[in-house]
Amino acid sequence: MKPVQWIRRELGLFRHTPFERKYMNDTNIRTSIYMSVVILALETWMMIRYVHERPGRSFWEYLDGETNYLILFTSGLVVLSFALSHLHNTNRNTLNKAGIFIALLSIFIDIMIAVRYIYVNHSQQSLSSLLWSLKYMVLLLMLSVGYLVFEMFISMKPETRQAIYGQFLNVVFGLICLGFGIETSAYDVSRERQILCFVTMVIYVACLLIWKPYVSLGILSASFLYFWGKWKPVMEASDSPYAAKILEANWINFLTFWIALTMISFSIYQQRLEEARKEESIISANERLKKIAVIDDLTGIGNMHQFSPDALEALSKKDNLIYLFLNIENFKNYNDQFGYQAGNDYLKETAEAICRYFPGDPVARQGDDHFVVLTDILGHRERLDQLRHDLLSRNSEIYLDLKAGAYLPSEPDLDPHIAVDRARYAASLIKNHYDKTYKEYNDKVDQDFHRRQYIVNNIDNAVEKGYIKVFYQPVVWSHDHKLCGCEALARWDDPEFGFLSPGAFIPVLEEYRLIHKLDKCIFETVCRDLRESMDKGWTVVPVSLNFSRLDFELMDAVSVLKELTEKYNIPKHLLHVEITESALTDDMGILQEAMSKFHEDGFAIWLDDFGSGYSSLNVLKDYSFDVLKIDMKFLSNFENNEKAKTILKTIVELASGIGMRSLTEGVETAEQAQFLKEVGCGRLQGYYFGKPMPHADIADKIGKGEYVIGEIL
Distance CA 115, CA 119 (A): 6
For position 156, what pLDDT does the model report?
65
* Inter-CA distances, 361 with 299, 311, 358, 405, Å: 16, 9, 6, 17
* Inter-CA distances, 395 with 230, 350, 358, 398, Å: 85, 12, 22, 7
434-446 mean pLDDT: 88
For position 565, what pLDDT does the model report?
95
* Inter-CA distances, 271 with 3, 10, 240, 264, Å: 21, 12, 45, 10
Distance CA 150, CA 318 (A): 38
| Contacting residues for 479 by C-beta, under 8 A, at least 6 apart | 677
Sign for the pseudo-dihedral over CA of 279, 281, 282, 284? positive
For position 399, what pLDDT does the model report?
83
pLDDT in tens, 627-640: 999 887 777 776 77
Residue 206: strand, helix, or coil: helix
Assess contact for 387 and 354: CB atoms under 8 A.
yes
For position 242, what pLDDT does the model report?
62
User: Angle at CA 621, nearest 5°, toward 616 and 622?
Assistant: 100
What one-letter code names the amino acid at 371? Answer: F
Given a cut of 80, whether residue 575 has pLDDT beyond it is yes
Sign for the pseudo-dihedral over CA of 616, 617, 622, 624? positive
440 - beta bridge partners? Answer: 406
What one-letter code names the amino acid at 148? Answer: L
Band (256; pLDDT cuts 50, 70, 90): confident
Given a cut of 60, whether residue 91 has pLDDT beyond it is no
* Inter-CA distances, 22 with 27, 84, 158, 162, 456, Å: 8, 16, 11, 9, 55
Band (592; pLDDT cuts 50, 70, 90): confident
| Contacting residues for 697 by C-beta, under 8 A, at least 6 apart | none
Given a cut of 80, whether residue 165 has pLDDT beyond it is no
pLDDT in tens, 75-87: 999 988 888 877 7
Distance CA 232, CA 559 (A): 103
pLDDT in tens, 448-499: 888 888 999 999 999 999 999 999 999 999 999 999 999 999 999 999 889 9
More confident residue, 698 or 98: 698
> For residue 513, what is the DSSP state?
T
For position 473, what pLDDT does the model report?
96
Residue 119: strand, helix, or coil: helix
Band (249; pLDDT cuts 50, 70, 90): low
Assess contact for 23 and 160: CB atoms under 8 A.
no
DSSP string covering 126-183:
-HHHHHHHTHHHHHHHHHHHHHHHIIIIITTS-HHHHHHHHHHHHHHHHHHHHHHHHH
The pTM (predicted TM-score) of the whole model is 0.55
pLDDT in tens, 505-538: 998 999 899 999 999 999 999 999 999 999 999 8
For position 95, what pLDDT does the model report?
67
CA dihedral 188, 194, 199, 200 (to 10 degrees): -80
Given a cut of 90, whether residue 568 has pLDDT beyond it is yes
Pick the closest to residue 441 from 456, 421, 455, 457 (CA basis). Answer: 421
More confident residue, 224 or 44: 44
Percent of the chain with pLDDT over 70: 92
More confident residue, 160 or 194: 194
Pick the closest to residue 140 from 226, 201, 68 (CA basis). Answer: 68
Pick the closest to residue 365 from 414, 411, 297 (CA basis). Answer: 297
| Contacting residues for 361 by C-beta, under 8 A, at least 6 apart | 314, 373, 374, 375, 376
> For residue 53, what is the DSSP state?
H
Buried b (16+ CB within 10 A) or exposed e, 226-240: ebbebbeebbeebee
> For residue 410, what is the DSSP state?
S
What one-letter code names the amino acid at 475? Answer: V
Phi, psi angle pair for 519, to nearest 5°? -65, -40
Distance CA 321, CA 362 (A): 11
For position 546, what pLDDT does the model report?
94
